[in-house]
Structure 1
Amino acid sequence: MSDAETAPSVLDLLEARGFIAQCTDRSALASTLNQDPVKFYVGFDPTADSLHVGHLLPVMAMYWMQQAGHIPVVVIGGGTGMVGDPSGKDKSRDFITEEAVARNIEGQRPHFGRVLSLAASEPERAGNQGFILNNADWLLGLGYVSFLRDIGRHFSVNRMLSAESARLRLERNQGLSFIEFNYHLLQSYDFYKLHEQYGVKLQFGGDDQWFNILGGIDLVRRMSGAEVYGFTIPLLQTAEGKKMGKTEKGAVWLDADRCSVYDYYQYWINVSDADVIRFLKLYTTMPLDRIEPLAALRGADVRKAKEVLAFEATKLVHGEAAASRAQATARQLFGGRGAANAPTVEVSLPAGILDVLRLSGLAKSNGEARRLVKQGGVRVGDAKVSDPNFVLNDAALVWKGKKSVVQVVAKA
């Protein structure tokens, strides 16, 4: 057995951090990764102009792969995005216009560069810098008849119907459109094209992509006779069984215009105690030996681990300065305690208390706000406000009565 086969692999690190659900020929992949830098890719559909926390999971796996010397290729689905991936969906997606796809691609691009080292293009890269591709560049120009003849002949309809996403849709009489049925061929072709043109040897993605990844591996083998590999990442749910990255307000976006830095920080502060260590491994770059002591914290001390998670996760996406500001605001508001689930309202500070009450929704009008203040029903932090001309200069908890509270933070 060679040294490459027995040496520790980046796969061991990914498994230890919780990134791997399924893997093709693990021993052969580990050996390949231990020899030379490997180009690998992950695909992202441009269904919105920002990535969210769910998308960040494969990006973090890409980060660790790049840290181990391998070369990330981000493939944005400008072509497949106009078809719509049926994987894991119980109904057809609405079509996205070509203009919306282009807008969403430009919105997503900056998020990748915050975590990965990327060159402007493949010819410009140095070392193990990665690069971004748009599969519209090779998919939109395909001739339909030649694609069916050269690519479609390698796919079994029976096998495609056995895929879980197709099988469940048909069992529920929900139907599967012909265009969605073709998605599997297009994603498989992506892997073939990337292997032939760029030498990509590995694809990974969410666990719902297993069938598509296997299709790409099989197509490369049939067309080129080459061995390529794939693995999937678990589809995360929180300890409460909720989809990762979703809140009552909607998705937790990486774009600060969609989700403020403070709200992003608070998302991590508010995760279940049972999720903290798992998320530290998945959503931060902290070494495992620094995470391990935090796993021993119990009871109220778990809050310390949550603060580490919130700071590190926010620093990764928004930078250290922004993370420090969010942390300082949270500590000023709560002192580490209470009302942490209060809704957040961004206000241009300084602001008069009447405007704050109205803008936050605690009062419907300035007149109602004035009456609340005069009746002694308003507090800022622990201090009662009795002057209608009171000016709020800094972030604070603002209370109406004993139960209604909002977190007022400075608008960026």
Structure 2
Amino acid sequence: MSCQRVALRLRARAASAATPAGRHFVFTPQTSPLRAVAFLAHRRPAWQPASRAALQMRLHASSATATEPAAAPLSKADVVDVLKERGLLDACTNEDELRKACAEGSLSVYCGFDPTADSLHLGNLLGIVVLAWFQRCGHTPVALLGGATGRVGDPSGKSAERPVLDDDTINANTAGIKAILERVLANGAADADTDVPPAVVMNNLDWFGSMGFLEFLREVGKYARVGTMMAKDSVKTRLDSEQGMSFTEFSYQLLQGYDFCHLFKEHDVRVQVGGSDQWGNITAGTDLIRRLADKEGAWGVTFPLLLKADGRKFGKSEDGAVWLSPERLSPYKFYQYMLQSTDADVVRFMRMLTFVPLAEIEAIEASMSADGYVPNTAQKRLAEEVTRFVHGKEGLTQALKATEGLKPGADTVLDAATLEALAGDIPTAELARDEVVGKTVVDVMAATGLQKSKGEAKRMIKGGGARLNNVKVEDEEATIGEDDVIEGRVLLLAAGKKNKLLVRVV
């Protein structure tokens, strides 16, 4: 492992460990400038990130004792070509220079994620996919949490100012997003064909948290040009709107620009990636690096937004965002959303969201117009690949089991863990054990409301439409025994092919 990579990991760990929650000042449009300056100019928290000297000492100690095995040879594929071929490159600040730098050695590449919610959603997944492609081509992915910038709010693509979140909410959101980034990037690395550089997750609160307002103006603000900032599309659009733009939002591009500058100077991060709506913020960073660090060698790359064939954003369902957190959206529901992709979208989504080789994707596309093609075959492959990337092999297995077990008329017996994971996805009831065990199926169907009455339940059984744990109930007097309560916790009732109910036994 290179010294550069060890230093990056040590600094990230030291900074993260040094950061307590809640010690921040949030600017709003109503904040008095004098109060802000007075508060921030004299504020110095008791905590400080680990000094550079301390980190160097730890680096030398680590180098002296580390005995890690040599990594396998990394892929030499040109990542710019890979991104272009898969429809993941929208713009680049200097494509030829970036290609040359990638060919000369490993680069560190970052993408930022602001904690506006406690989970990322499907629209954020493209940023993680692009980081993973850089990683598979031998570069180090850095996921940057916006613990500081999330307190301001990015105006890009927004018609109104984001509501200001309190510190506790932002800290909880940051923790949730960090867990998702670590999990998904680890899933991607595990599925790579070769050993890849480990991903790093950092938080920009580690450097903004201890910086005073006057210090920021003196050390950073003097290098920013208001004319350039005003010319950004995200700024012009908002200034022309009825709502206008607050100074808080106007300053966001400078904060994100400083993120890139700090990472460039302190951790040798050379590339920033982001959605096409982030172009203004990204170029603010490359411009600041040239002015403040007086250096070249920083590049910005954007990828297109994920849209459906009809132009609508992909990643929204009737119930809202398609979340990447299993607590927000089960792997089963996530899988089902991907499975609903249209024929017009599925091939493009497979190129952009999966790591399936292009030759294989082309073969799948050709098969879709061939005789004998089974409908939704391509959609199943897309759903499997993306679900495994987001939720891991266990999450995919759970989704496939649930999909099979919840099919109309299915006879697959599900385990308790799979059923409990479906609690938020299908109707659920909770009954005491003595209200279930020893009672007839008719009694329980009526008690849970699956059928309006015992008479209706009997007619359902007589007509062959009642099932207990996906097994047809043949007898109107059939009772539920202890063995029917799966692992002593749950059972699944069905009245007809599609009307299913999960019963939790407490």
- Distance change (3 Å), C-alpha of 1:355 and 1:309: farther
Q: Distance in 2 between matches of 1:174 and 1:155?
A: 25
Which one has the largest radius of gyration? 2
**Native 8 Å contact 1:373 1:386 kept in 2:** no
Q: Distance in 1 between matches of 2:105 and 2:450?
A: 67
The structural deviation recorded for 1:287 is 1.8
Q: How does 1:47-66 map to 2 (within 5 A)?
A: 47-66=116-135
**Native 8 Å contact 1:269 1:307 kept in 2:** yes
Q: What's the Cα RMSD here? A: 3.3
Q: Distance in 1 between matches of 2:446 and 2:399?
A: 22
Instruction: Pick the aligned partner of 1:280 from 350, 353, 359.
Output: 350
> What SS does structure 2 have at the residue aligned with 1:73?
strand
- Distance change (3 Å), C-alpha of 1:385 and 1:253: farther
Q: What amino acid is aligned across from residue 338 of structure 2 in structure 1?
A: W
Does 2:446 match 1:370? no
- Partner residue, 2:307: 237
Q: Distance in 2 between matches of 1:312 and 1:374?
A: 43
- Partner residue, 1:31: 100
Q: Distance in 2 between matches of 1:282 and 1:354?
A: 51
Q: Distance in 1 between matches of 2:221 and 2:215?
A: 9
- Partner residue, 2:390: 317
**Native 8 Å contact 2:322 2:334 kept in 1:** yes
Does 2:323 match 1:257? no
**Native 8 Å contact 1:66 1:116 kept in 2:** no
Q: How does 1:21-100 map to 2 (within 5 A)?
A: 21-100=90-169
**Native 8 Å contact 2:429 2:501 kept in 1:** no
**Native 8 Å contact 1:354 1:388 kept in 2:** no
**Native 8 Å contact 1:63 1:115 kept in 2:** no
Instruction: Pick the aligned partner of 2:378 from 295, 305, 317.
Output: 305
- Distance change (3 Å), C-alpha of 1:354 and 1:271: farther
The structural deviation recorded for 1:387 is 4.0
Q: How does 1:131-146 map to 2 (within 5 A)?
A: 131-146=200-215
Q: Distance in 2 between matches of 1:87 and 1:137?
A: 24
- Distance change (3 Å), C-alpha of 1:136 and 1:373: same
**Native 8 Å contact 2:492 2:503 kept in 1:** no
Instruction: Pick the aligned partner of 1:203 from 272, 287, 290.
Output: 272
Q: What amino acid is aligned across from residue 426 of structure 2 in structure 1?
A: V
The structural deviation recorded for 1:47 is 1.3
Deviates more, 1:384-393 or 1:55-64: 384-393
Q: What amino acid is aligned across from residue 87 of structure 1 in structure 2?
A: S
The normalised TM-score by structure 1 is 0.83
Q: Distance in 1 between matches of 2:240 and 2:110?
A: 33
- Partner residue, 2:86: 17
Does 2:360 match 1:290? yes
Q: How does 1:97-136 map to 2 (within 5 A)?
A: 97-117=166-186, 128-136=197-205
Deviates more, 1:379-388 or 1:225-234: 379-388
The structural deviation recorded for 1:371 is 5.0
The structural deviation recorded for 1:78 is 0.4
**Native 8 Å contact 2:309 2:345 kept in 1:** yes
> What SS does structure 1 have at the residue aligned with 2:155?
coil
The structural deviation recorded for 1:335 is 7.7
The structural deviation recorded for 1:68 is 0.8
Question: What residue ranges of structure 2 are gaps of 5+ in the alignment?
Answer: 1-75, 188-194, 411-423
**Native 8 Å contact 1:194 1:200 kept in 2:** yes
Q: Percent identity?
A: 36
> What SS does structure 2 have at the residue aligned with 1:108?
helix
How far does the alpha carbon of each residue in 1:167-203 deviate from its partner, in whole angstroms, 9 at most, with x for none? 2222221111111111111000101100110011100
- Partner residue, 1:345: 426
**Native 8 Å contact 2:308 2:345 kept in 1:** yes
The structural deviation recorded for 1:74 is 1.1
- Distance change (3 Å), C-alpha of 1:336 and 1:184: farther
Q: Distance in 2 between matches of 1:283 and 1:354?
A: 48
Q: Distance in 1 between matches of 2:381 and 2:367?
A: 12
**Native 8 Å contact 1:344 1:408 kept in 2:** no
Instruction: Pick the aligned partner of 2:400 from 327, 332, 336.
Output: 327
- Distance change (3 Å), C-alpha of 1:388 and 1:20: farther
Instruction: Pick the aligned partner of 2:337 from 267, 277, 297.
Output: 267
Q: Distance in 2 between matches of 1:306 and 1:260?
A: 18
The structural deviation recorded for 1:308 is 1.1
Question: What residue ranges of structure 1 are gaps of 5+ in the alignment?
Answer: 1-6, 119-125, 338-342, 360-364
Q: Distance in 1 between matches of 2:473 and 2:409?
A: 21
